[in-house]
Amino acid sequence: MSTILRWLTGGNERRQTWPWQLGGFGTEAITGRAVTPDTAIGSTAVWACVRVISESLATLPLSVYERMDRGRELRRGHPLYSILHDAPNIRQTAVEFREQMLASLLLYGNSYSLIERWPSGRVRYLFPLRADRVTVRTDVTTDSEPIPGLIYQYQSGSKTLNYPADQILHVRGLSSDGLVGLSPITVHRQAVEVEQAEREFAGRFFGNNARPGGILKTQGRLSADAATRLKASWESVHRGLGNAHRVAVLEEGMDWVPMSMPLNDAQFIEQRRFSLEEIARIFRVPLHMVGDLSRATFSNIEHQSIEFVTNTIRPWAVRLEQSINNALFFPSEVGTFYAEHSLDALLRGDVASRYAAYAIGRQWGWYSANDVRERENLNPITGGDLYLSPMNMVDQAQLQPVDMPVATRSQVIEVRGAISVPDWMRGNARRGLAWHEEGLSGDGVTEQTVREARAMMAGTVSEDKARRMSAWFARHMGDLDAPSASPDSPDYPSPGVVAHALWGGGNRAQSERAERWAQNRVAELDNQSGITRSQLPHPEPRETIPPGLDGDVIAILRLAYDELGVPQMAQAIREALGEDHDGTLEG
């Protein structure tokens, strides 16, 4: 078993200790340099990753909520609210405290905070502890306590302070034993070490005026002391940027032989970029957030930023929240009260995207005007708490049965398909309406006929009207043979002429033209529907004729017109006149 595994799993004590302090594997780094969090933070890549994660999470609002039956309520009055949201102690703000917690987690894999409580048990202050000075060990088990508790030992100067688990807020990173988290710097120390070596090499390279080392060559043999003095003398005069471009004086046949290895031959720039990618990969940070825009585009930066929130910030936020909920709330409050970060600030898009999202939420009723204003840090307005509801969306539970009146025959006719009429027919209807308004139509014109004449004058008739027109003109063409139907008669226009005009006709030529037009439209409708008149449904015939209408042909025609469908008109008239009637009307 390796030293690291023994360190992680052996014994009952876990301390933030570095492998090179333990002997054996890991004692010596691959470049001869020891890597610790204190030295690793000097790496620009490590610094950038730790800073962007810790600052991003520390600046998010951390609030206390209470779970309700439906939803939750913000509890600003809870004793923990001011500690988590404003200031956890007298020396730090909430942002500074959580920034330090995150930095400790990212460098050491653990964050420790001392909990100072009031006599009631409520949290009074939270003080951060250095992770490299804390040792975690398990307590002695007993029959009454078969599961050992944890004891936290803190080295404060020459003193060792012991704290039980309920006095320490311990946030762990990825762990192999559940006691302490693994330090990313320890696990990936070689990647950090290579980056540090590259940085040191670059410093030395440019410290030598961007020139590699070389050899002073002499004809004779030098003693060790003479060689050491010569090297020191040469470096004191020619090493460093301040001594660049000075003239060198060589004596006694000495030659300067440079040892050249250009940086492009060593792929130094590519290696530096790869080291940056390695460290960013360790901390799961997009490259554009640590200053590398070589692969960034306008389209992918937004999605990378969203992935940074969901895949990097959110896991750390949940770790903090769950540790806080378990350690700082009373047992009776756990499950009811909880602390949670608001990630909305990191997910805010540009102004156009935000306003488009607000518009959708506002129109569909899950945002009020004040909800939107609150997210934009604006003050509420009067009447801004109203939630809209789309007109075409309603809860089924709110639907009430409505008593709808049965549509009359005339109402049904009006909603059927409209057919355009020619201009000459519109003129006939206009003339008929003018005569009707003068009182010349007599008693045989119904309100429905007048209403349909107005529609005809406007340019349309219904399908049902066209079918009835064909039958009406066939039955009433004899009205135009009366003397009063002649324009030369002093009684012109007769009621029959007025009726023909209201139906789109007029004199015999006009009415015959209207009849042919109606017959053509009916034929077109039947061809479109693919049915014949004999296939149309037959309504139940009227059993009796109202008293006083027997033998009155005009009254029977009015009754058939108002009550029956056109295809059954002739049959209904025959039934009304009697089974022995041939259907021929006289007079």
Question: Over the stretch 526-556, which tens digit does the pLDDT of each residue have?
Answer: 777 655 445 545 545 444 444 444 445 545 5
Instruction: Identify the pLDDT of residue 580.
Output: 45
CATH of 3-187+312-344, one of 3.40.50.10490, 3.10.20.30, 3.40.50.2300, 3.40.140.120: 3.40.140.120
Mean pLDDT across 30-55: 83
| Parallel/antiparallel/unpaired status of strands 460-462 and 418-420 | antiparallel
Instruction: Identify the pLDDT of residue 441.
Output: 76
Residue 571, exposed/middle/buried by CB under 10 A (0-12, 13-18, 19+)? Answer: middle
For residue 256, the cross-strand partners are: 216
Residue 586 has pLDDT above 50, yes or no: no
How far CA 578 is from CA of 198, 446, 572, 574, in Å, comes to 117, 26, 10, 6
Find which of 254-258, 288-292, 344-348 is predicted with most confidence, using mean pLDDT.
288-292
Q: Is the pLDDT higher at 381 or at 17?
A: 381
**Contacts with 258 (C-beta within 8 Å, 6 or more apart), sequence order:** 211, 212, 213, 214
How far CA 399 is from CA of 387, 390, 395, 402, in Å, comes to 19, 15, 7, 9
Instruction: Identify the pLDDT of residue 52.
Output: 94
- The angle formed by the CA atoms of residues 399, 404 and 408, to the nearest 5 degrees, is 160
Residue 26 has pLDDT above 60, yes or no: no
Q: Tell me the pLDDT tens digit for each residue of 142-151.
A: 666 777 788 9
For residue 352, the cross-strand partners are: none
Q: Is the pLDDT higher at 274 or at 369?
A: 369
Q: Which of 60-74, 136-150, 227-241, 331-345 has the lowest mean pLDDT?
A: 227-241
Domain residue ranges in the chain: 3-187+312-344, 349-398, 409-536, 540-587
Q: What is the mean pLDDT of the chain?
A: 76
How far CA 471 is from CA of 173, 215, 467, 522, 531, in Å, comes to 92, 124, 7, 11, 18
Q: Is the pLDDT higher at 102 or at 41?
A: 102
Q: Quick one: pLDDT band at residue 243, thresholds 50, 70, 90?
A: low
Instruction: Identify the pLDDT of residue 499.
Output: 86
Q: Quick one: pLDDT band at residue 298, thresholds 50, 70, 90?
A: low
The structure's pTM equals 0.55
